[in-house]
Amino acid sequence: MKQIRIHGRGGQGVVTAAELTAISAFNDGHEAQAFPSFGVERTGAPIEAFARIDDKPIRTREHVYHPDILIVQDASVMTTVDVSHGCTEKTIAIINTSLPKNAIKLSIPEKNIFPIDATKIALDILGRNIVNTIILGAIAKSTKIITLDSIKKAVKQKFSAKGQELVDKNIKAVVKAYNL
Amino acid sequence: MPQKKSKRQILEGSQAIAQTINNIRPAVISAYPITPQTHIVEDLAKLKADGKAKYEYVRAESEFAAASIVEGASATGLRTYTATSSQGILLMAEVIYNIAGMRLPVVLTCANRGVSAPITIWNDHQDAMSIRDAGWIMFFAENHQEALEQHLLAYKIAEKKKIPAMVNIDGFVLTHTYEGVEVPSIAEIKKFLPDYKPKQGEYLDTAKPVTFGAFASPAYYMEIRHELHEDLRDCQNDILGEYENLKKLVPSAIKKSEDKALVNNGLIEYYGPKNPKVVLIAMGSLVGTVKDAVDHLNIRRNVKHYISNKSVGVLKIKTFRPFPAKSVLAVIKKAKYVAVIEKAVSLGATDAPLAMDIKAYAKNKIKTKIQSYIAGLGGRDITQKMISKIVTDVQNKDDKMKFVG
Amino acid sequence: MKITAQAGSTTKNKTGGWRTYIPVTDYNKCIGCGRCAKVCPENAVKMVLKNGKQKPMTDFDYCKGCGLCAVECPVKCIKMELDKK
């Protein structure tokens, strides 16, 4: 089983990122689960969301305490939340930051840290600092647990009710992150 | 267009329930939004607004009103639905009792959440336990699929026995979780659950007027309550029977049985060895975590009182009211220790509600030690580690109720 | 356990981390009118005396980067720039 923990702030699409990860994995033929850590549902509050991917039905409902993949959608939460708690030497971390690798203070081996300036891509393509789809592209690139095609399909499933333009922009953002 | 054949897809729990309710074709839905029930009723309102549903969706000014609206609609002989949580069910409480007393087959989803004060929006079972004596059938679902299957059973039994039914799903843990699920189609559901057609005289009708909820003098009140009690107890047989029918008619609706489940029916599921030394009893989404914890126990050989996972079983109570006491006893009678793990507390009592039921029935019948554990109140995460600790603790001499976590 | 909350304790939750953009004020252009301080929804802008003139000071512990000050500034001396994180 692969376990994913996503940190960020309410309103940044953290929960949607976990859901899209699970939908993508399900599209790839895996069993998947995604759920939020139920923070107070208000913009700005630090929140967590989780996803699990496995080849057999997923029964456990506990939070993800030892993530295989750690995602930080907003680097500023790292000043108030110990995002790397429970991470192991094998944990892969994808951090949304404009800073270089060696400037990221995390108790994870540097080779496993993948910084990405997702905010810049989001502002360029989406016009808003909502980075979840960009992070998805980064997950597919650095971990291979989900495929680019399944992400595109998941984005369509999730956003089609909000219009074709939003779907197209988000797919463009995913591809941009994947090809970085 | 509603699809003819169901297929497995990944959905949020609330979404899966809303789609199922739409396919069940209620005539009237009324609800007042409350976290974490919100997504269910938002989805139902959206289905209606998008022209994909035929029900009347009545917006209410409070939960008291929502319950009253479905009560009234149900009394006119229509299939109805409502959903709520926490303070919402507390505000509905008076009507909840009335619906049962008037024998109206209302179906309600309770997205379980703790109760105030202090304010909590997170999951536990204290809301459901507050109305457990109201005369409703009460199901508790482990996952999305089971929640859907229980909604179908709820309507079937409610309309057959004229007793309302409540499906409890853990707030956030199920309502806000995405996982694989198969939503049975209208055509599939119709095979199991045909249109609701009560007989004239059983509903409000100007052609044949009747009165609901009338005054009952001491000469009658007790008989009427006694009958409701007996009929509710009797629902156990219907739940067992209809579960088998559902399995045959709409196999896609049923949660796939676990390989290690020795018993799996509409009332309970027992997962584990034939002759367990320890049985862990739980309800709702917690059961999944407990099953995984029990399966992992065999790699934690250094723990005190270590026993192989081959001697720990998990008993899931799917139907809490009517309480399946005999079925429970049949599973636990050979065990030495039973830990009842609950997300609820009966403040001031000796044990938590589910443990009380089990202990009361088991007294003088079996020698098994039964201990009450309270966990996960107000959304505290229940971890596999906590479950392992309970397996160890229940084998100690004391039998006091404990708060864990 | 204490069940009452201390009044005024919400300021313990610093909200500056929420912002994407940060306001940068050109003090040479600023006329010290104080409109930015009045419109700030977080009350994060205070007018202070600087070289004998009223100038706005933003408390970045609480500024969420909404940009209202920049929009309302009559001389357009506040620019919203991408915040480094």
Q: Is residue C7 part of a domain?
A: no
Q: Do A38 and B256 touch (CB under 8 A)?
A: no
Hey, what are B292's tokens? 């995984």
Q: Is residue B2 part of a domain?
A: no
Q: What is the pLDDT of residue A120?
A: 94
Check CB contact of A162 with chain B, cutoff 8 Å. no
**What's B285's domain CATH number?**
3.40.50.920
Judging contacts by C-beta atoms under 8 Å, the chain A residues touching residue B381 are: 62-63
Q: Which of B253, B274, B302 is the last residue of a domain?
A: B253
Q: Which of B198, B232, B253 is the last residue of a domain?
A: B253
Q: Is residue C1 part of a domain?
A: no
Q: Are residues B192 and B274 in the same domain?
A: no
Q: Do A62 and B285 touch (CB under 8 A)?
A: no
Q: Do A23 and B291 touch (CB under 8 A)?
A: no
Q: Is residue B70 part of a domain?
A: yes
**What's C68's domain CATH number?**
3.30.70.20
Q: Number of Cβ pairs closer than 8 Å across A and B?
A: 70
The answer on pLDDT for A13 being more than 80 is yes
pLDDT tens string B341-399: 999 999 999 999 999 999 999 999 999 999 999 999 999 999 999 999 999 999 999 99
| Residue of B8, B173, B178 to mutate when probing chain A, most A C-beta within 10 A | B178
Alpha-carbon distance C50 to C56, whole Å?
Answer: 9
Alpha-carbon distance B298 to B310, whole Å?
Answer: 8
Average pLDDT over residues B204-221: 95
Lowest mean pLDDT, pick from A68-82, B89-103, B164-178, B311-325: A68-82
Alpha-carbon distance A51 to C48, whole Å?
Answer: 49
Alpha-carbon distance C69 to B110, whole Å?
Answer: 45
Check CB contact of C20 with chain A, cutoff 8 Å. yes
Judging contacts by C-beta atoms under 8 Å, the chain A residues touching residue C17 are: 9, 74, 76-77, 79-80
Q: Are B32 and B84 in contact (CB under 8 A)?
A: yes
Q: How many structural domains does chain B have?
A: 2
Q: Is residue C10 part of a domain?
A: no
Q: Are A74 and A7 in contact (CB under 8 A)?
A: yes
Q: What is the pLDDT of residue C69?
A: 97
pLDDT tens string A15-73: 999 999 999 999 999 999 999 986 665 667 789 999 999 999 999 999 999 999 999 99
Which letter does DSSP use for residue C36 in this model? H
- Give all strands of the β-sheet with B402-404 in edge-to-edge order: B261-264, B268-271, B312-317, B278-282, B337-342, B369-375, B402-404
The 3-state secondary structure of B19-73, one letter per residue: HHHHHHCCCEEEECCCCCCHHHHHHHHHHHHCCCCCCEEEECCCHHHHHHHHHHH
Q: What is the pLDDT of residue B178?
A: 98
Q: Is residue C45 part of a domain?
A: yes
Judging contacts by C-beta atoms under 8 Å, the chain B residues touching residue A32 are: 10, 178-180
**One-character DSSP codes across chain A:** -EEEEEEEETTSSHHHHHHHHHHHHHHTT-EEEEEE----SSTTSEEEEEEEEESS-----S--SS-SEEEES-GGGGGTS-TTTT--TT-EEEEE-SS-GGG---SS-GGGEEEE-HHHHHHHHTSSS--HHHHHHHHHHHH-SS-HHHHHHHHHHHHGGG-HHHHHHHHHHHHHHHT-
Q: Do A119 and C82 touch (CB under 8 A)?
A: yes
Alpha-carbon distance B87 to A178, whole Å?
Answer: 46
Check CB contact of B120 with chain A, cutoff 8 Å. no
**What's A46's domain CATH number?**
3.40.920.10
Task: Look up the domain containing C57 and give its range.
Answer: 15-82
| Residue of A42, A72, A76 to mutate when probing chain C, most C C-beta within 10 A | A76
What is the distance of C-alpha C36 from the center of its chain? 8
Alpha-carbon distance B101 to B106, whole Å?
Answer: 12
- From C12's Cα to the closest Cα of chain A, the distance in A is 12
Q: What is the pLDDT of residue B298?
A: 56
Hey, what are C74's tokens? 């009559």
Q: Which of B209, B121, B143, B320 is nearest to A31 (CA)?
A: B143
- Which CA distances in Å does B7 have to A52, B182, B185, B266? 22, 6, 9, 23
Q: Which of A143, A136, A97, A102 is nearest to A118 (CA)?
A: A97
Task: Give the range with max mean pLDDT: B2-6, B92-96, C16-20.
Answer: B92-96
Phi, psi of C74 (to 5 degrees): -70, -20
- From B72's Cα to the closest Cα of chain A, the distance in A is 34
pTM above 0.90, yes or no: yes
Q: Is residue B147 part of a domain?
A: yes
Q: How many structural domains does chain A have?
A: 1
Q: Are B110 and B85 in contact (CB under 8 A)?
A: yes
Q: Are residues B240 and B265 in the same domain?
A: no
Check CB contact of C81 with chain A, cutoff 8 Å. no
Task: Look up the domain containing A86 and give its range.
Answer: 2-178
Higher pLDDT, A38 or C61: C61
The answer on pLDDT for B3 being more than 70 is no
Q: Which of B226, B253, B280 is the last residue of a domain?
A: B253
pLDDT tens string B13-31: 999 999 999 999 999 999 9
Q: Is residue C31 part of a domain?
A: yes
Q: Which of B172, B179, B293 sits opposite A33 (nearest CB)?
A: B179
Q: Which of C15, C64, C85 sits opposite A75 (nearest CB)?
A: C85
Q: Which of B364, B345, B368 is nearest to B356 (CA)?
A: B345
The answer on pLDDT for B6 being more than 80 is no
Q: Do B292 and A26 touch (CB under 8 A)?
A: no
Average pLDDT over residues C27-35: 96
Q: Which residue spans within B322-376 are E strands per DSSP?
A: 337-342, 369-375
Judging contacts by C-beta atoms under 8 Å, the chain B residues touching residue A18 are: 178
Q: Which of B180, B291, B384 sits opposite A31 (nearest CB)?
A: B180
Q: Do A57 and B176 touch (CB under 8 A)?
A: no
Q: Is residue B47 part of a domain?
A: yes
Q: Are residues B286 and B218 in the same domain?
A: no
Average pLDDT over residues B226-249: 98
The answer on pLDDT for B264 being more than 50 is yes
Average pLDDT over residues C9-26: 89
Q: Is residue B1 part of a domain?
A: no
Alpha-carbon distance A68 to A91, whole Å?
Answer: 5
Q: Which chains touch C (3 or more CB pairs under 8 A)?
A: A
Task: Look up the domain containing B229 and give its range.
Answer: 8-253
Q: Which of B122, B124, B123, B157 is nearest to B139 (CA)?
A: B157
- The residue whose two tokens read 């305490």 is A65
Q: Do C17 and A79 touch (CB under 8 A)?
A: yes
The residue type of C24 is V
Q: Do C17 and A77 touch (CB under 8 A)?
A: yes
Q: How many structural domains does chain C have?
A: 1
Hey, what are B32's tokens? 């007042």
Q: Which of B220, B320, B213 is nearest to B266 (CA)?
A: B320
Q: Do A74 and C17 touch (CB under 8 A)?
A: yes
Work out the pLDDT band at B2, boundaries 50, 70, 90. Answer: very low
pLDDT tens string A72-125: 999 989 988 899 999 999 999 999 999 999 889 888 999 999 999 999 999 999
pLDDT tens string B112-146: 999 999 999 999 999 999 999 999 999 999 999 99
Q: What is the pLDDT of residue A38?
A: 66
**What's B67's domain CATH number?**
3.40.50.970
The answer on pLDDT for B1 being more than 50 is no
Residue B129 buriedness (CB in 10 A; 0-12 / 13-18 / 19+): buried
Which letter does DSSP use for residue B175 in this model? T
Q: Are A28 and A147 in contact (CB under 8 A)?
A: yes
- How confident is the prediction for chain B on average, in pLDDT? 95
Our CA angle for B76, B82, B86, nearest 5°, is 140
Q: Do A35 and B177 touch (CB under 8 A)?
A: yes
Q: What is the pLDDT of residue B143?
A: 98
Closest-CA residue in chain C for A79?
C17
Q: Are residues B311 and B242 in the same domain?
A: no
The answer on pLDDT for B189 being more than 70 is yes
pLDDT tens string B288-332: 999 999 998 755 555 555 555 578 999 999 999 999 999 999 999
Alpha-carbon distance A15 to A34, whole Å?
Answer: 8
Higher pLDDT, B41 or C10: B41
The residue type of B322 is P
